[in-house]
Amino acid sequence: MFVDDQIIDLGLRAFCLAAAAMVWIVLLVRINGLRSFSKMTNFDFVMTVAIGSLLAGASQSTEWTAFLQTLLAMATLFFVQWLTARLRKASDTFEEVAQNSPVLLMRDGEFLYDALDSSRVAKSDLIAKLREANVLSFDQVRAAVLETTGDMSILHGSHLDEALLSGVRKPASG
């Protein structure tokens, strides 16, 4: 307890613990690097969600041991993310096991219905992403890709360099 008044103590504790945990996260990000919350892989996404949950837990800690355990859990997540990134970079086999492949959902203005079905993406969701990308006509779309993070990349214009689709899973019928 910081002070005798229970209400004031509650507010002070929440403020101080949340601020300390935020400083700890900033320090860990500075050590781990810019990709800490990049959302480039499914590991990055899970990391972001988990750190947010741990931050909430840290700010609600009632004992110092629980607070310190939460800070150590945050550091462990950053380490595991760093290690995973290193392993993915060093080993193609680890990369294949640990990471999903992006999926081609549309090609040269044509919807790839097998890919939409297998990835459980509704055509209406893809059309919404096309609008977000300022596509004015389906025939402008060279490719629509569901990325490993769940984001969609819309490639449109007059020409598509095939190298941009390297590593993208294409449906058998497409």
Q: Where are the beta strands (DSSP E) in 6-140?
A: 103-107, 110-111
Q: In this predicted structure, what is the pLDDT of residue 173?
A: 56
Nearest one of 152, 149, 146, 151 to 168, comparing CA atoms: 146
- List, for residues 123-144, the tens digit of each pLDDT value: 999 999 999 999 999 999 999 9
Whole-prediction pTM:
0.70
Lowest mean pLDDT of 1-5, 42-46, 103-107, name the range.
1-5
How many CB atoms are closer than 10 A to CB 139? 11
Confidence of residue 120 (pLDDT cuts 50, 70, 90): very high
Q: Is the pLDDT of residue 78 over 90?
A: yes
- List, for residues 7-45, the tens digit of each pLDDT value: 898 889 889 999 999 999 999 999 998 788 877 777 788
Domain 101-165, CATH = 3.30.240.20
> Where do the CATH 3.30.240.20 domains begin and end in the chain?
101-165
Q: For 162, which DSSP code? A: G
Confidence of residue 169 (pLDDT cuts 50, 70, 90): confident
- List, for residues 42-66, the tens digit of each pLDDT value: 778 888 899 999 999 999 998 999 9
Q: For 151, which DSSP code? A: -
Q: In this predicted structure, what is the pLDDT of residue 45?
A: 81
> CA 92, CA 94: separation in Å to the nearest integer?
5
Confidence of residue 2 (pLDDT cuts 50, 70, 90): low
Q: Where are the beta strands (DSSP E) in 55-166?
A: 103-107, 110-111, 141-146, 152-156
